[in-house]
């Protein structure tokens, strides 16, 4: 593993308790995103598109794990520190307990996810992915908040580990990581001439295909598995 990835992982892990300790909700995702963006730009300037994508994937996985664990063991109340965390927790626990909500219906969850995708793509193009990585941190953090809340709600630890992070969410986040890198390139080419010299535009298409495949796979997995997933969790909650 390269040194910059090791530094990225360590900095991302540290960013979560640091952000919680500071106590400013908007600062937490910025601190989370900063290590990823520094390494991502470094990789793009060197012409390493694949390396930049791997950077984004390592970062997302690290933030998901570190955020979930940190929120499970944090000694103080964190409701006011995670943007959209309490609202998402309420929505998800209500869906688990009642089976009602948008989570299991393609016609209901697809418009919301298409809007998220459009906002993410626009932020990536407009800011060379600086703000879209912050948006990704916000999404990962409130998902981590919900997963950690399953333990508080009474789910056994093994169920939180196996059923907390759903496969459709993982697929969509991996797709967003890939998309964020390739959509950062047009503006990055203008800001960093070395990136334009070292990266070939013709090499982007496989990454677009991979990102689109991950997004579509997420929709299929959610439409297919969400009803069963909710029922499994419902049986495990007191």
Write the pLDDT tens digit of every residue in 116-151: 999 999 999 999 999 999 999 999 999 999 999 999
Spatial contact of 82 and 140, defined as CB atoms under 8 Å apart = no
What is the pLDDT at residue 198?
72
Supply the pLDDT for residue 188: 85
Q: How many residues does the chain have?
A: 238
Cα atoms in the Cβ-side hemisphere of radius 13 Å centred on 17: 11
Q: What is the pLDDT of residues 46-100, one digit of tens each?
A: 888 999 999 999 999 999 999 999 999 999 999 999 999 999 999 999 999 998 8
Q: Which two tokens stand for residue 9?
A: 């992982």
- State residue 161's pLDDT score: 94
Question: Which tens digits make up the pLDDT trace of 189-230?
Answer: 888 777 777 776 668 899 999 999 999 999 999 999 999 999
Residue 210 and residue 50 in contact, taking contact as beta carbons nearer than 8 Å: no
Residue 94: Cβ within 10 Å count:
13
Containing domain of residue 107, as a range? 3-236
Q: What is the pLDDT of residues 178-190, one digit of tens each?
A: 999 999 998 988 8
What does R_g of the chain's alpha carbons equal in angstroms? 18
Mean pLDDT of the chain: 94
Q: How confident is the model at residue 1 (pLDDT cuts 50, 70, 90)?
A: low
Supply the pTM of this predicted model: 0.94
Within 13 Å, how many C-alpha atoms sit on residue 140's CB side? 33
pLDDT band (50, 70, 90) for residue 4: confident
Query: According to the model, what pLDDT value does residue 222 have?
Result: 97
| Number of domains comprising the chain | 1
């Amino acid at each position: 593993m390269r040194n910059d990835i090791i530094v990225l992982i360590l900095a991302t892990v540290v960013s979560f308790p640091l952000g919680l300790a500071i106590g400013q909700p908007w600062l937490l995702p910025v601190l989370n995103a900063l290590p990823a963006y520094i390494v991502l730009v470094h990789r793009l300037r060197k012409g390493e598109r694949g390396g930049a994508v791997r950077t984004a994937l390592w970062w997302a996985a690290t933030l998901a794990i570190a955020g979930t664990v940190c929120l499970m063991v944090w000694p103080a109340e964190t409701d006011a520190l995670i943007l959209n965390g309490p609202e998402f927790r309420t929505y998800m626990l209500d869906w688990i307990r009642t089976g009602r909500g948008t989570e299991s219906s393609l016609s209901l969850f697809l418009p919301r996810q298409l809007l998220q995708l459009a906002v993410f793509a626009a932020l990536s193009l407009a800011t060379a992915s600086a703000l879209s990585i912050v948006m990704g941190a916000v999404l990962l953090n409130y998902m981590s908040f919900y997963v950690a809340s399953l333990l508080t709600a009474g789910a056994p630890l093994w169920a939180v580990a196996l059923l907390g992070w759903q496969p459709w969410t993982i697929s969509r986040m991996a797709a967003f990581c890939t998309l964020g890198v390739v959509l950062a390139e047009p503006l990055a080419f203008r800001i960093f001439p070395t990136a334009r010299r070292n990266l070939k535009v013709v090499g982007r298409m496989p990454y677009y295909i991979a990102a689109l495949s991950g997004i579509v796979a997420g929709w299929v997995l959610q439409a297919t598995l969400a009803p069963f997933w909710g029922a499994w969790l419902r049986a495990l909650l007191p």
